[in-house]
Structures are given as C-alpha cells and as structure tokens.
Amino acid sequence: GQQLNQSPQSMFIQEGEDVSMNCTSSSIFNTWLWYKQEPGEGPVLLIALYKAGELTSNGRLTAQFGITRKDSFLNISASIPSDVGIYFCAGREQTGANNLFFGTGTRLTVIP
C-alpha cells in the first residue's frame, strides 16, 4: 500500500523549542490525521483534518491540511519532555477504500 513521506525522520530539540514536521503524499487525500505513539502502545489521535486549507489546534499542537490535498504539517510549540514519542501522519485517499495510510514517522526527543 501507499506510504506517506514524512520528515524529518528524527529530531533532537531543547525543551521550550518549537517543532515542525510535515507529510506529503502522491495522491489526493480527503482526511489527514496526526497521531502520537509511545513505546509499546497503539497510536493516539492528536488532530484530525477534513478540509483543504483547514488549520486546527489542540493545545500546543497545530496542524494544517494542505491546499493541494497532498500534504499536511504539524507544529508543536514550547516543547516539554512529555512530548517525546513518535509522531505519525495518516491519511485517507479521496477515492478508494476506507483505510488509512501512514507516514514513516518522526521520532522526537526533547532534552530538558
């Protein structure tokens, strides 16, 4: 199945810094989702986006659904140690099945 291109692959940042990661696909998506996964756990939904251009916030997290419908970004402001984890983008194609395709993940490390 399709896999989304997510970057960066990993990030090491100081506590308090802002973080930005993005995801691109080769096809048009009608839904973009951002998940966080911690070791030994399933992904937990952070933000869901349903319209092109949509900008949505969840606390210190902000995500946008790209105008082209082929990309999305996630920003985390003022990072804290508990932000550590792997962040995945996921999307559902405009046409076709109901399943999600996942990005390759961004491993975030926050240095206190």
Is 59 one of the binding residues for another protein (CB under 8 A)? Answer: no
7 - beta bridge partners? Answer: 22
74, 61 Cβ separation under 8 angstroms:
yes
What DSSP line would sit under 9-34, residue for residue? SEEEEETT--EEEEEE-SS-EEEEEE
Is 104 one of the binding residues for another protein (CB under 8 A)? Answer: yes
Q: Which of 14, 26, 40, 112 binds another protein (CB under 8 A)?
A: 40
**In the complex, minimum distance from the CB of residue 78 to another protein, in angstroms, rounded to a whole number:** 25
Is 41 one of the binding residues for another protein (CB under 8 A)? Answer: yes
Q: How far apart are CA 21 and CA 88, in angstroms?
A: 10
Q: Which of 33, 47, 61, 110 binds another protein (CB under 8 A)?
A: 33
Q: How far apart are CA 46 and CA 38, in angstroms?
A: 13
Residues of the shown chain interacting with another protein in the complex, contacts defined by CB under 8 A: 1, 3, 31, 33, 35, 40-45, 48, 50, 88, 90, 97-105, 107
